[in-house]
Amino acid sequence: MTKGRNAGDVNESFYAPGEDCVGLTFARGYLYNSDFVWSAMGGAIHKIETDGVLDTTFFFPEWDCPEGLAFDGEFIWLAELCEHRIYKLNVDDLTPVCYFESPDYWPIGLTFDTNYLWLTTQFEQSFHKIDIGVGQ
């Protein structure tokens, strides 16, 4: 149960850029949301100021299906549904540092718990605790 007189109140809303915004994370003062776009331009990740102003859109022709996003304090992680991969991205320009194959076929949601990346997948109904080498 949440406590406080404003618990659950929406403080602010704004339009999310893109066609099909599915993933969301917060990193270094900005919101990042993934845009599952079925177009020749591929998928996108939008970097947005917390007041809703779009800062930058990064288009990725090789990724049609960017889904879940997570920030580990240094890198942004992306679950890419169509390629069935998890990408480690540089925060400054979202260039891939590396990637690995998803443990299940349909990677969707990501979160980070200070030590491990957690992944959920569509259809398999499973969670995966993934060691990404933090704190080692």
Has residue 127 been placed in a domain? yes
pLDDT, greater one: 130 or 135:
130
12-64 pLDDT, tens digit per residue, is 888 888 888 889 999 999 999 999 876 666 789 999 999 999 999 998 877 77
Spatial CA neighbour of 88 closest among 96, 80, 13, 23: 96
Quote the tokens at residue 75: 């890198």
User: Is residue 81 included in any domain, yes or no?
Assistant: yes
- 27 in any annotated domain: yes
Within a domain: residue 60?
Answer: yes
Nearest Cα neighbor of 79 from 59, 103, 55 is 103
* CATH number (domain holding residue 27): 2.130.10.10
Q: Which long-range contacts (CB under 8 A, 24 or more apart) does 120-126 make?
A: 120/68, 122/81
> In terms of residue numbers, what domain contains 51?
21-131
DSSP alpha helices (H): ranges in the chain?
none
How many structural domains comprise the chain? 1
In a domain? residue 62: yes
